[in-house]
Structure 1
Amino acid sequence: MQSVAAALTMVRDDAFFLKAWLRHYGETLGRENCYIVNHGRGEEVAQLAEGCNLIGIPGDPHPNFDMKRWRMLNNFVQGLRCYYDHVIVGDVDELVVVDPSDGRSLLEWLRTARRKRVVTPLGLEVIHRIDLEREAITDRIIGPRRHVRLAPHYSKPCIISHGVKIARGGHYTQYDKLHAPDELYLLHLKFCDFTNYVEVMNARNAVTESTGATVQEASIGRHWFAEARGEDRAVFDGFAELEMEDGFDLGWVRKRMHRSWGSRGDTGFWQFARPDYAQQYLLPERFVGVV
């Protein structure tokens, strides 16, 4: 039994993403080192997560859902650090991967990683090019889906081996150094499949509606609200308009992250600039099957 790394997430009925999360972290870290907060004590979540550490909590809707969630995850992370060298924490649709050209699994990478740090993988959003990618996802996601867009908002400080506070949403920590290794990526899967996107957004809109709060009143991401959702097919059609870049050298993005690194006002948190990039890349074939 390894004590190098644990993975932690919170989920409510997102079976599609949970299956990918379980396959990814369960295979490399071992299910006994996967910790899942089961929001609402969903039966399907419990069945899928057999062999993991399941923490059931009430599922009552609350306008400060995200604030409460990250307060709890912060405390869980620090508790798990008492027993693991590193803790990977994030949403169920976010997966940390090592570039296959590195030759190491995620666990092997973490085994040699320095402790007392916060590590920030480069964020890439897996997008479903519905004009090109007709194959349904039945098992692995990368293969049927190969296109990604730059997603600075998802370059999250999510590998924790230091006693730091994590901001709501997991986007910032109170750690004043930026460690963004060239071989680490965080794949955000929200837009990886059009059909699943529609189903997930319908469910999330229903959750926020049940709180009775407005976008301005709630501590929940705007994308959970129906009025901020937009037209689904138009969102996916828009991916074809992103400029296609040659190759897969993203060193320039990490350099910009380092150049813009600084304190986030007087909050105690640290950040880098998060511009919107209108670019997309085709993942090299070596990534096929990585998630």
Structure 2
Amino acid sequence: MQTTAAALTMVRDDAFFLKAWLRHYGAALGRENCTIINHGRGEEVVRLAEGCNIIGIPGDPHPNFDMKRWRLLNNLVQGLRCYYDHVIVGDVDELVVVDPAAGVSLLDVLREQPIRRVLTPVGLEVVHRVAEEPAPIEDHILGPRRHVRLAPHYSKPCVVSQGVKIARGGHFTQADKLHTPDELLLLHLKFCDFGNYVAVMNHRNAVTEAVGASVKQASIGRHWFAEARGEDRAVFEAFSAAPAAPFDLTGVRRGMHRSWKPRGDTGFWQFDREESDRVMALPERFLGVV
């Protein structure tokens, strides 16, 4: 029985991403080391996550739901730390992976990491170039999808072995030292499939409409609100319009460390997060990783 790492997420009626999350962390860590908060006690979540630790909670719409969600995740992370060296925490569409060039597993990497620190993988957004990638996603995402863009907003401090508070959204922690292992990446899957993106956004817009709260009251990103959504196809056309550059992360981690500083007087720490529209083609070694 391994006690090196556990994975934690919260999900509500999101089978597409949950299946990918379970495939990845179930294989990497063992399902018995995966904990899923089942928001709304969905029956499909229970069925898909068999063998995992499932915590069912009420799903009634209410304001401040993202703030409450991260309060719960924070407390569970600290509880799980009593039993595991590292806890990986994040949204169900975020996966911490190892660059296959390292030739080691996720568990191998984490076994070699000292405890009492927070690890921040470099964030990459998997994007769907619809015209040139028509194949549906079935058993794997990387294969049918072969392009990413750098996503500093998703270079999240998400591997925790220290008693720190994580900010709402998981973008910042109170850890004052930045650790960015060369092998670790965080794949954000929100834009990996056009059809699923539309379905997810429709669902999120319906949730916020049911809550009846403003952006500020809900304490969540504006994209959850229909009026701030924009035109879906235009978002994906922009991915296809950009020429695909070679995969290159040279200097990315160095830039994160160079700009590391306190986030005002909040108690959290941050690096500069300049978004990029540059799309990169993934090397063959990544295909089938998730």
Match of 2:24 in 1: 24
Instruction: Give the structure 2 partner of residue 238 of structure 1.
Output: 238
- Corresponding position of 2:270: 271
What does 1:47-126 align with in structure 2 at a 5 Å threshold?
47-126=47-126
Could you tell me how far apart the structure 2 residues matched to 1:112 and 1:66 are? 33
Alignment-derived partner of residue 195 in structure 2: 195
For structure 1, which segment, 208-217 or 191-200, has the greater mean C-alpha deviation from structure 2 after superposition?
208-217
Report which stretch shifted further, 180-189 or 85-94.
Answer: 180-189
Unaligned runs of 5+ in 1: none
Superposition pairs for residues 140-219 of structure 1, below 5 Å?
Answer: 140-219=140-219
1:109 and 1:217 mapped to 2: Cα distance? 40
Task: Letter of the 1:262 partner, please give it.
Answer: K
For 1:75, what is the secondary structure of its paired residue? Answer: helix
Deviation at 1:15, TM superposition (A): 0.1
Per the TM alignment, residue 256 of structure 1 is displaced from its structure 2 partner at its CA by 1.1
2: distance between equivalents of 1:21 and 1:104? 20
CA distance in 2, matches of 1:171, 1:241: 29
Comparing 276-285 with 33-42, greater Cα deviation is found at: 276-285
Q: Can you list the C-alpha shifts for 1:167-210, whole angstroms capped at 9, x where unaligned?
A: 00000000011111121100000000001111111111100100
In structure 1, C-alpha distance between the alignment counterparts of 2:256 and 2:111, rounded to whole Å: 25
The equivalent residue for 1:254 is 253
Deviations 1:205-255 (A, max 9, x none): 100100111223321211111111111111101112334322x22031111
Matched, 1:227 2:227: yes
Q: Distance in 2 between matches of 1:78 and 1:233?
A: 41
Counterpart of 2:286? 287
| C-alpha separation in 2, matches of 1:137 and 1:277 | 25
Q: What letter is aligned with 2:73?
A: L
**SS of equivalent to 1:203:** helix
1:205 match: secondary structure: helix
Q: Tell me the number of residue pairs that the alignment of Structure 1 and Structure 2 aligns.
A: 290
Please state how far the C-alpha of 1:286 moved relative to its aligned partner: 0.3
- Amino acid in the other structure paired with 2:119: V
CA–CA separation in structure 2 for the residues paired with 1:244 and 1:270: 33
Q: Identity across aligned pairs (percent)? A: 75
Range 83-92 or range 278-287, more displaced: 278-287
TM-superposed CA distance for 1:159, in Å, is 0.2
Contact 1:19 1:48 in 2 (8 A): yes
Contact 1:182 1:251 in 2 (8 A): no
TM-score of the pair, normalised by structure 2 = 0.98
Q: Which residue of 2 aligns with 1:45?
A: 45
Partner amino acid, structure 2, of 1:225: F
Q: Which amino acid aligns with 1:115?
A: I
**Distance in 2 between the 1:153 and 1:201 partners?**
19
Q: Which amino acid aligns with 2:240?
A: A
Aligned Cα RMSD in Å? 0.9
Alpha-carbon distance in 1 for matches of 2:12, 2:145:
24
Matched, 1:14 2:9: no
Q: Contact 1:66–1:221 (CA<8 Å) still a contact in 2? A: no
